Amino acid sequence: MRETWRWFGEFDPLSLSEVAQTGAAGIVSALHAVPYGDLWTSEAIVRRRAEIEAAGFTWDVVESLPVHGDIKRGTGPLSRHFDTYRASLANLAQAGVKTVCYNFMPILDWTRTDLSLPVPRGGTCLHFSTSRMAAFEIHMLGREAAHDTYDPEAIRAGDMWFQDSTEATRDALLHAIMAGLPGAVDRFDVAGLKDALDRYEGLSHDDLRANLKRFLEEVIPTASALGIHMCIHPDDPPRDILGLPRIVSTEEDIRWIMQAVDDPANGLTLCTGSLGANPRNDLPSIARSFGHRTHFAHLRNVIKEQDGSFTESAHLAGDIDLVAVIDELLEAEANRDTNIPFRADHGHALLSDIGQTFQPGYTLIGRLRGLAELRGVIAALS
């Protein structure tokens, strides 16, 4: 497996010279300043690649080449969006960048309710609380329908939290949830989020699946011809939120996607933390079933709670048997004669991470610890 490190370019407080000290060989990056739906030009791609290579790395994975919201909703100038996406893929292939991660989650790329939950022995982590999410949806957004999507106990706990909340704690919850918006997008206030949600009103799981299938049919043949591996990222968290459907949350969802356009270019980003937050998912089994279509891996761990809440744990300390998952991926590599790029996904804020302005989860010391632990597992299994 090939060690990589996610780097946010001009939006990252870490320099590539600092990243080099982690030992990672490849970089996972994107053109984060380009608005969704705009063309990734050859010139911009080559500049980013040259910047990465000048620091002694290769640009191994694009994360992400975003899918415009119109495509997810199935509205707007779809032909233009598909043409632009295919042209961006062609420009990436010309520059030799041939693994592309993307997601199909409406509005939010990921969702947490707490960005700095204290952990034992010091440091902080990311956390998702179903009760606080229920409180946000029911009390702050006024979504009465949310009563049907949360466990009654989580709703009661959310009611109590909201009754005791202050303007500051409610603002902190909104800030944490809005952190999951794509990097260069302005953060919404409550009214802005309601407006964004209104644009998805009535979108069902079947609708979103149909729109994903159309995207795959439009894009995968081009990717295949260019030698590009597309790899969809699972939902994070793997459940419906804000009244928005989620369709990449289970092993059954992944199987449907792989069969929708049955081409090796239509692949998976195996994110153990996202899939692992769903108690139905057996991560070693998923790695075994889809190792032949896994083109990229995010390795992290979570501790789940009975009500669906979860806490991001140290990489080898959670509910997921990452050793077994890595063993399956190494077997898949051997069968495919390839190296699957992976990155230590997220990390606790530890030591000098505290107080720094990293993207949530993308700390230096926490990820370095995770990478070292995963490196040891891979060395032992190999």
Known catalytic residue at 271: yes
Give burial (CB, 10 Å; 0-12/13-18/19+) of 100. buried
**Is the Cα dihedral 202, 239, 233, 222 positive or negative?**
negative
From 150, 346, 348, 353, the catalytic residue = 346
HSE (CB half, 13 Å, CA atoms) of 22? 32
Angstrom distance (rounded) from CA 189 to CA 174: 8
Known catalytic residue at 233: yes
Known catalytic residue at 295: no
Known catalytic residue at 319: no
From 32, 233, 295, 348, the catalytic residue = 233
From 101, 345, 348, 353, the catalytic residue = 345
Known catalytic residue at 68: no
From 271, 295, 315, 348, the catalytic residue = 271
From 102, 150, 200, 362, the catalytic residue = 362
Known catalytic residue at 292: no
From 32, 81, 127, 298, the catalytic residue = 298
Give the residue numbers annotated as catalytic, written as ranges.
233, 271, 298, 345-346, 362
